[in-house]
Structure 1
Amino acid sequence: MKRKLPLILLSNVAGLALFFSWYLPANHGFWFALDSDIFHFFNRGLVENQAYLWLVALTNNRAFDAFSLVAMGCLMLTFWLPADQKCRRHVVIIGLTMLLMAVIINQLAQAIIPVKRISPTLFFTDIYRVSDLINLPTKDASKDSFPGDHGMMLLIFSAVMWRYFGKKAFAVALIIFVVFAFPRVMIGAHWFSDIAVGSLSVALIALPWFLLTPLSDKIIQVFDRFLPQITTAKQN
């Protein structure tokens, strides 16, 4: 713990610096210009390319969110399948620990961060909304988009994979993060900074206190102690 404390504090400072680089300047400083450029770039494409319109619509349909859970589950399954019974139990408990961390961090972030921000599709006028262009249920707006909770969950998953399963698993988890978090930016339900500042700053501040301290291991031990054991009979 003492050896990792400087790294924890450095991560916290980086997270705070990132957040205040967005929060303190008038109109969010350079972040607003970047957000605006990114939003309008993707927004123009909605009427320029029909295939792109359908891609954005489909990847922001609620059903597509289930695929992110499937992708995360498949990655964890690659560690669960070849393991023995004891290690399989450990993989499941790590998954439960990750979900508990995500709930705690998300609730704290929503309660502490003094920001309520509408999505760019509600902020700008004379723009295109997917729901007006195509007859398909899709999430193209939000009345409270900061921080990006979907991106935050995927970042927590990525960090847990790094902590318990290694760098290769972390790299795959980051791909999952990009594939499933950034469609919200493309459709305009989130600003780019909702994820690049909001989700990331929360992750930098909160996650080290779970993953670089004994806390996450303690949570795993509690789950291991109280969850029922599932045993299989040996076959002759």
Structure 2
Amino acid sequence: MKLSYFHQKALAIFLLNLAGLIIFFSWYLPAQHGFWLSIDTHIFYFFNQHILPDTFFASFVAYTNNRKFDLVILLAMGALYYNTFRKKDYMGKRHLVIVGLVMVISAVLINQLGQNIPIERPSPTLHFQDVHRVGVMTGIPTKDASGDSFPGDHGLMLLIFCSFILRYLSFRSFLCALLITVVFSLPRVMAGAHWASDILVGSISLTLITTSWLLITPLSNIIVRQLEKHLPFKK
């Protein structure tokens, strides 16, 4: 029997929430985070062994984790969004501006929710002893540690961006956004400022649960329409 449109949406939300919960509890419930600890440890030491003084890799990791590098991430996201924006007429551009505003507000609120999850987890550079700190190795101001790294904030923001791109732009743009997410989430893991599971578990599970309710239900469209009614525009 073919499901109605409403039931398809409900099933999608259920499955995405179920996936998010399974991912999260596969990490949260086992002692020492089960198989995730082995994955995290291997990934951390794979990169950390190459962070040595006077090496290109160490400098690369340091610069890509400097706060100024966040501007490069914003430029990449903005360029992808602008590629669709520039092709629209005035009303289409106005619509995308409002969608972008809703995306930013949603990302801030979801990030705050993530930061208030009652889990404190120091980054691997603080958890393990005798590790290579890229900031110390290079002398470059950089983020190579965090007292509370779960969930990964960069990964979370980028995944929310992906979700909005998939909902309001195109699948092709979504694939580009996914590539941006992988490329720009990796430096935090390479530096040891985040565990891989901070992103693969924390960021992904929180994104699946929150954005499914926001974007599959009419909620985001309702917010966009209300803003379209109340924000001034040229006729």
With normalisation by structure 2, the TM-score equals 0.95
How many equivalent residue pairs? 230
Tell me, in whole angstroms, the C-alpha distance in 2 between the residues paired with 1:65 and 1:25.
34
**Does 1:206 find its partner at 2:191?**
no
Q: Which residue is 1:170 aligned to?
A: 174
- Structure 2 equivalent of residue 98 of structure 1: 103
**Is this contact kept in 2: 1:65–1:180, CA < 8 A?**
no
* Deviation readout 1:197-232 (Å, 9 max, x if unpaired): 00000011111101110001011112211211145x
Is structure 2 residue 143 aligned with structure 1 residue 139?
yes
Stretches of 4+ aligned residues off by more than 3 angstroms: none
Residue 114 of structure 1: how far off its partner (Å): 2.5
Inter-partner Cα distance in structure 2 for 1:185 and 1:26: 22
For residue 55 of structure 2, what is the amino acid of its counterpart? Answer: Q
| Structure 2 CA distance for aligned equivalents of residues 173 and 64 of structure 1 | 18
- 2:94 partner amino acid: R
The whole-number CA distance in structure 1 between the counterparts of 2:46 and 2:211 is: 33
- After TM superposition, give the deviation of residue 192 of structure 1 in Å: 0.2
Q: Distance in 2 between matches of 1:141 and 1:222?
A: 41
Q: What is the CA–CA distance in structure 2 between the aligned matches of 1:72 and 1:114, rounded to whole Å?
A: 30
Structure 1 CA distance, aligned partners of 2:229 and 2:175?
31
Identity of aligned residues (%): 51
Residue type at the aligned position of 2:39:
L
**Corresponding residue number in structure 1 for 2:193:** 189
String of CA shifts for 1:72-115, please: whole Å, max 9, x gaps: 1111111111211111101111111111111121122222x231
CA–CA separation in structure 2 for the residues paired with 1:190 and 1:95: 27
Equivalent of 1:107, from 112, 137, 141?
112
Q: CA–CA distance in 2 between the matches of 1:192 and 1:5?
A: 31
Distance 2:158 2:188 in 1: 13
Stretches of structure 2 lacking an aligned partner (at least 5 in a row): 1-5
Residues 139 and 230 of structure 1: CA distance in aligned 2, closer, same or farther (over 3 Å): farther
Give the Cα separation in 2 of the matches to 1:49 and 1:23: 38
2:55 matched residue in structure 1: 50
* 1-structure distance, mates of 2:232, 2:148: 39
Could you tell me which residue of structure 1 aligns to residue 3 of structure 2?
none
Q: Does residue 40 of structure 1 match 2:42?
A: no
Matched, 1:122 2:126: yes
Root-mean-square deviation (Å): 1.2
- 2:231 maps to which residue? 227
